[in-house]
Amino acid sequence: MKDRLVTGIILAAILIPIVSIEIFLEMFQVLMTLFVVIAAFEMIRMFESKKKFQKFPKVGIILLTLGTFFSVGGVLGNVDHNPLQANGVLSITIPIFTIILLSFLVLFRDFNGEDVGKALTVINYVGLGAASIVILRFLGVRFIVYLLLITSATDIFAYIFGMKYGKRKLAPHISPKKSWEGAIAGTIFATVIASSFALFYGSVFYPGTWLGNLLNLSGEQTLLDNFSSLGERNPLWVQGLIIVPVTFIASILAQIGDLVASRLKRTYNIKDFGTILPGHGGLLDRFDSVLFVAMYLTAVFLLIYRLFPAIIV
């Protein structure tokens, strides 16, 4: 528990300024690139608990994961870069990456159909998940904070209420300690906390204050303000009809994402994805639900962005 707490404090001290301060944007992108490499290696290591990959297919999977990350996330870009407008490259990279991956079946004797499925799991889970985090960061710091509030609040309150009141097992064949009581409490609290942040963002981080100048220099009032006409033309209660359901579903997906990671580890008989974070395990052990929710939120905000674009004055 001590190692877990110390690691969490160190992570927060490093990541909070890098994620939230504009001058560290390039460093954030570099860190996300390293994250992709390490996380992809952790997943390959998990699969190798049953069957080893040859050296070149292993390197190829990591490179294809990086390629997916770069093409979807649009990195490396500057502060004005908007990845939601830069995904035409996918029509080129997806066919090419598919051809390369399927060619492994011919180029490497021990690479079979099951390995294609494993490779696709790494590429999609890590590559798309990390790219989604980058997209949310380019949309604004508030989107990343919103993501982290959902995942952390869900995890914290599910744990607290599960330990005190948990009686009915949520998924005993995957994670025996998780309960329905904890899951419900986690979702309720996460929905209230993250939705409040999204709807009252400008009131909390008001321009002119220290935090406001740091996190909300352009003066957005809500999560959707200056992003979509939904946030510019509609009163707060209408935005709430959008934000609250989105947050509620995201919290449920955070728990599903955590269970997905647990199911993978149980399938391959490993305790953790890695050992890079003392008390937590690997990067995927710490950020499994973040990747899951980031992909969902990116899809939702992409849809909102396309259907209800911001008003250009």
The total number of structural domains in the chain stands at 2
Judge whether residue 34 has pLDDT over 60: yes
Shared-domain flag, residues 8 and 124: yes
Tens of pLDDT, residues 7-25: 767 877 888 788 877 778 8
Shared-domain flag, residues 160 and 270: yes
Shared-domain flag, residues 100 and 38: yes
What is the C-alpha separation between 248 and 162, in angstroms, rounded?
18
Tens of pLDDT, residues 227-267: 899 988 889 999 999 999 999 999 999 999 999 999 999 99
Among the residue ranges 66-80, 124-138, 163-177, the one predicted with the least confidence is 66-80
Q: What is the pTM of this model?
A: 0.91
What average pLDDT is seen over the chain? Answer: 87
Judge whether residue 77 has pLDDT over 60: no
Judge whether residue 1 has pLDDT over 70: no
Find the mean pLDDT for residues 267-284. Answer: 85
Range of the domain at 22: 1-139
Name the DSSP class of 110.
T
Judge whether residue 177 has pLDDT over 70: yes
What is the C-alpha separation between 174 and 267, in angstroms, rounded?
9
Among the residue ranges 26-30, 36-40, 210-214, the one predicted with the least confidence is 210-214
Burial class (CB in 10 A: 0-12, 13-18, 19+), 67: middle
Last residue of a domain, one of 139, 170, 195: 139
Q: Alpha-carbon dihedral of residues 75, 76, 78, 84, nearest 10 degrees?
A: -10
Tens of pLDDT, residues 192-235: 999 999 999 988 888 777 777 777 777 788 999 988 999 888 89
pLDDT for the residue numbered 208: 74
The token pair that represents 110 in the structure block: 């021990």
Shared-domain flag, residues 123 and 13: yes
Find the mean pLDDT for residues 128-150. Answer: 92
Shared-domain flag, residues 149 and 127: no
